[in-house]
């Protein structure tokens, strides 16, 4: 185990996901540290794993029955060397400090890869929006912001959405921020189009992941046309991944939520995707309903005790994990390889565990890790910040064109860094090194702060 990983584990032994993220990045950048002893002398690894600031706070609120509920709120301001802290808010019962530190740590390198000036942060709460009324979600968001507003700002820290935080939540959060500060600013991204949002932001993560997949395939003179694709999740990232896959002539065949998954061998069409969008974004129902409506589809309940996820055990060409962390383990990865999958492109953050990553690399799959492949979301967030600063809005075509260019540039920098460090085609090493170098150069320039 590397010295830095040991240090992190000793300090915060319970933060498993954070250890996992640190371990992968530090292993990738070891050759960079070896080539540049000055980085170790400047204690760059120790500084990178220590958040610049962690805010943790009580969020009391009153539910529809008049009961008082108490949740925990967080914001991790991980690294601000190259710009204001930037990263989403996650509302999910599993949220804890270790999960948010892993996400904030990944965000630092992801944001550096985008070429835009954004530092890394992440936040959220263990609040569970599932089954809550709009009124309850509004009260929770307002109370959450009653504390968070002190710590964020358009030039300080700019949150956005993540799991459980979409357009509805951003609206409530922004509304309370504006009231408390008496200021209308670009403090959030993912805003509504009428109040400072950017076209293509809702689509950006999914579209970006598919653009990244197309770039990876092009290195083997292939395209997405006719490719059968497994997609997990059925939220923001999964929906727009399916939309772009359809536009590119591919055939998506699966979707999931935490209750189970559907397999539609005939393919998820535009009409079926519209049904999913209505089901998930308006009615907030379960994916099971898809199989009740479309007889071409089979549904299977999730089994949390199983040693693998059957979603990853179907014949396919490509896989787009777009739900959550560690949804692909070693067994799932082996099943994907067995079923002929040649490309894995991560819409979610750290969806593959270390055993799975090892199998993908060993079998020379085109494997796009989350911090490169899903960077389209935060990239268009960066473009939303730019538009807010200029007080104007770009067209759909203009934003989409910039998103494509950014994904292409991330792909190129990851490939170039991988080749420069003797690991051609290894996007994990490439993305980690390219992101790391940009952040570390800025830290070196700014001295010990
Ligand atoms: P959403 O809340 O819109 O959707 C999340 C989806 O994943 C839902 O279908 C949800 O099912 C499922 N899911 C969440 N947690 C679990 C779990 N523990 N087990 C099984 N299924 C689960 O979130 P997003 O689509 O925005 O986020 C998906 C992933 O993409 C996350 O890893 C996020 O960090 C990452 N990401 C998001 C970006 C964005 O711009 N939104 C940008 C970059 C990455 P259910 O409804 O049952 O909970
Ligand atoms: O993980 C991510 O990159 C996000 N949830 C999006 C962050 C953002 O600031 O748009």
Q: Does pLDDT of 151 surpass 80?
A: yes
Among 373, 397, 427, the domain-final residue is 373
Distance 288 CA to ligand 2 centre (A): 28
Measure the CA–CA gap between 325 and 436, rounded to whole angstroms.
21
* 134 & 225 share domain: no
Q: Find the length of the chain.
A: 449
What is the model's pLDDT at position 203? 98
Residue from 86, 110, 122, 280 carrying the catalytic annotation: 122
* 237 & 302 share domain: yes
| Chain mean pLDDT for the chain | 98
Q: Which of 233, 310, 346, 351 to mutate to test the pocket of ligand 1 (most atoms within 8 A of CB)?
A: 233
Distance 257 CA to ligand 2 centre (A): 20
Atom of ligand 1 nearest to the CA of 323: 7
- Residue-wise pLDDT tens digits, 208-218: 999 999 999 99
In a domain, 439, yes or no: no
- Residue-wise pLDDT tens digits, 388-406: 999 999 999 999 999 999 9
In a domain, 398, yes or no: no
Measure the CA–CA gap between 145 and 59, rounded to whole angstroms.
9
Q: Does pLDDT of 253 surpass 90?
A: yes
Q: Does pLDDT of 1 surpass 80?
A: no
What residue ranges line ligand 2, CB within 6 angstroms?
86-88, 107, 110, 160, 162, 189, 349, 377-378, 381
* 149 & 273 share domain: no
Domain count, the chain: 2
What is the model's pLDDT at position 63? 98
Nearest CA to ligand 1 atom 42: 377
| CB neighbour class for 101 (10 Å; exposed up to 12, middle 13-18, buried from 19) | buried
Q: What is the CA radius of gyration of the chain?
A: 21
* 151 & 264 share domain: no
Q: Does pLDDT of 145 surpass 90?
A: yes
Atom of ligand 2 nearest to the CA of 159: 9
Phi/psi for 37 (5° steps) reads -55, -20
Mean pLDDT within 334-343:
98
Measure the CA–CA gap between 408 and 412, rounded to whole angstroms.
6
Atom of ligand 1 nearest to the CA of 350: 32
What is the model's pLDDT at position 318? 99
Distance 203 CA to ligand 1 centre (A): 14
In a domain, 131, yes or no: yes
* 178 & 308 share domain: no
Atom of ligand 2 nearest to the CA of 90: 5
- Residue-wise pLDDT tens digits, 413-426: 999 999 999 999 99
In a domain, 249, yes or no: yes
% helix, strand, coil for the chain, step of 5: 50, 15, 35
Mean pLDDT within 310-323:
98
Q: Does pLDDT of 104 surpass 80?
A: yes
If we measure between CA atoms, which residue out of 133, 114, 71, 45 comes closest to residue 381? Answer: 114
Helices 236-247, 201-218: crossing angle, 10 deg rounding: 50
Q: Does pLDDT of 196 surpass 80?
A: yes
In a domain, 432, yes or no: no
Confidence of residue 296 (pLDDT cuts 50, 70, 90): very high
Instruction: Determine the structural domain holding residue 90 and report its residue range.
Output: 53-184
Annotated active-site residue 122? The verdict is yes
* 108 & 242 share domain: no
CA distances from 91 to 33, 122, 205, 271 (A): 36, 11, 18, 30
* 94 & 143 share domain: yes
* 324 & 209 share domain: yes
* 176 & 222 share domain: no
CA distances from 88 to 205, 214, 227, 399 (A): 12, 26, 31, 20
Measure the CA–CA gap between 98 and 20, rounded to whole angstroms.
10
Mean pLDDT within 372-385:
98
Start-to-end CA span in the chain (Å): 28
* 157 & 305 share domain: no
Measure the CA–CA gap between 388 and 185, rounded to whole angstroms.
8
Q: Which of 205, 378, 435 to mutate to test the pocket of ligand 2 (most atoms within 8 A of CB)?
A: 378
What is the model's pLDDT at position 327? 98
Q: How far out from the chain centre does Cα 94 lie?
A: 16
- Per DSSP, the three-state class of 238 is helix
pLDDT cut 90: percent of the chain above it: 100
What is the model's pLDDT at position 401? 98
Contact assessment for residue 171 and residue 192, using Cβ atoms and an 8 Å cutoff? yes
Distance 138 CA to ligand 1 centre (A): 20
- Per DSSP, the three-state class of 354 is helix
Measure the CA–CA gap between 236 and 211, rounded to whole angstroms.
16
Among 348, 373, 398, the domain-final residue is 373
The CATH number for 246's domain is: 3.40.50.720
In a domain, 136, yes or no: yes
Distance 268 CA to ligand 1 centre (A): 19
Contacts of 43 (CB under 8 A, 6+ apart): none
What residue ranges line ligand 1, CB within 6 angstroms?
161-164, 166, 205, 233-238, 257-259, 322-324, 347-349, 374, 377
Q: Does pLDDT of 176 surpass 90?
A: yes
The CATH number for 71's domain is: 3.40.50.10860
Q: Does pLDDT of 160 surpass 90?
A: yes
In a domain, 22, yes or no: no
pTM recorded for the entire structure: 0.98
Distance 348 CA to ligand 1 centre (A): 7
* 233 & 297 share domain: yes
Among 184, 217, 234, the domain-final residue is 184
- Residue-wise pLDDT tens digits, 64-82: 999 999 999 999 999 999 9
Atom of ligand 2 nearest to the CA of 158: 9
* 173 & 242 share domain: no
Confidence of residue 2 (pLDDT cuts 50, 70, 90): confident
Mean pLDDT within 312-329:
98
């Amino acid at each position: 185990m590397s010295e830095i990983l040991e240090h992190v584990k000793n300090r915060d032994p319970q933060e498993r996901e954070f250890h996992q993220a640190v371990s992968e990045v530090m292993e990738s950048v070891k050759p960079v540290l070896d080539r540049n002893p000055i980085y170790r002398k400047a204690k760059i690894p120790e500084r990178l794993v220590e958040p610049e600031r962690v805010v943790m706070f009580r969020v009391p609120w009153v539910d529809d029955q008049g009961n008082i509920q108490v949740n925990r709120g967080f914001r991790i301001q991980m690294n601000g060397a190259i710009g204001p802290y930037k990263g989403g808010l996650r509302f999910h019962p599993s949220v804890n400090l270790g999960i948010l530190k892993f996400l904030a740590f990944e965000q630092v390198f992801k944001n550096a890869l985008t070429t835009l000036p954004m530092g890394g942060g992440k936040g959220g709460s263990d609040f569970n929006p599932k089954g809550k009324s709009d009124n309850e979600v509004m009260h929770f968001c307002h109370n959450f912001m009653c504390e968070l507003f002190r710590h964020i700002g358009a030039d300080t820290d700019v949150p956005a959405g993540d799991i459980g935080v979409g357009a509805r939540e951003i609206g409530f959060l922004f509304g309370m921020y504006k009231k408390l500060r008496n200021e209308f600013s670009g403090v959030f991204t993912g805003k509504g189009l009428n109040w400072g949002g950017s076209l293509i932001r809702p689509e950006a993560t999914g579209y970006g992941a598919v653009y990244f997949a197309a770039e990876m395939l092009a290195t083997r003179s292939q395209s997405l046309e006719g490719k059968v694709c497994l997609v997990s999740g059925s939220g923001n990232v999964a929906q727009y991944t399916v939309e772009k896959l359809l536009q590119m002539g591919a055939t998506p065949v699966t979707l999931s939520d935490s209750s189970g998954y559907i397999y539609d061998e005939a393919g998820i069409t535009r009409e079926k995707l519209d049904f999913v969008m209505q089901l998930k974004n308006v009615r907030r129902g379960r994916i099971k309903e898809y199989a009740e409506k479309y007889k071409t589809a089979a549904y299977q309940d999730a089994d949390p005790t199983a040693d693998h996820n059957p979603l990853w055990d179907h014949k396919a060409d490509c896989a787009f994990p777009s739900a959550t962390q560690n949804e692909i383990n070693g067994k799932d990865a082996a099943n994907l390889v067995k079923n002929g999958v040649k490309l894995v492109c991560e819409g979610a953050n750290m969806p593959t565990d270390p055993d799975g990553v090892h199998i993908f690399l060993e079998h020379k799959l085109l494997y796009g890790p989350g911090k490169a492949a899903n960077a389209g979301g935060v990239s268009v967030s960066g473009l939303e910040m730019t538009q807010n600063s200029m007080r104007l809005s770009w067209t759909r075509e203009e934003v989409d064109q910039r998103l494509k260019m950014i994904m292409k540039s991330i792909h190129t920098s990851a490939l170039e860094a991988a080749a420069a460090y003797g690991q051609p085609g290894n996007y994990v090493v490439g993305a980690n090194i390219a992101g790391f170098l940009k952040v570390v150069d800025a830290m070196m320039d700014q001295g010990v702060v």
